[in-house]
Amino acid sequence: MRMTTRILMTLALAAVLAGEALAAGTAAGQINVNTATAQELQLLPRVGPSLAQRIVEFRTSNGPFKAAEELTRVKGIGEKSFALLQPYVTVQGDTTLKEKVKVPRPKKTTAEKS
């Protein structure tokens, strides 16, 4: 009986911890590209100082973004780059992203290495 209780308690604790880890992974946050500073924009995946500055300059010259898809008009952001950014950008609301988003680079196939 004691062993069964211990096993059940261990499983319950594991379930709670797994749920917290899952929630933490999905609650990354977003960047409002209309109000974010260059430093905040650098939290986005594959956005460094130069690209962040181009986003700010584009916004200053052309006014606020009406839709997140307009980021593709910024030099250096194409369709593939935007696909990585899309889950993390918004054009309204608060900036809630607090950590740099890191996405792994795709592995090259044998044909691409040649």
The whole domain housing 58 covers 31-90
Per residue in 1-31, pLDDT (tens digit) is 666 666 655 555 555 444 443 333 445 899 9
Kindly state whether residue 108 falls inside one of the protein's structural domains: no
Domain membership of residue 20 (yes or no) is no
83 within 8 A of 70, measured Cβ to Cβ: no
pLDDT tens-digit series, residues 63-111: 999 999 999 999 999 999 999 999 999 999 999 999 999 988 777 777 6
- Prediction pTM value: 0.70
The whole-angstrom separation of Cα 114 and Cα 110 is: 7
Residue 7 included in any domain: no
Q: Can you list the alpha helix ranges (DSSP code H) found in 27-105? A: 38-41, 49-62, 79-85
The number of folded domains in the chain is 1
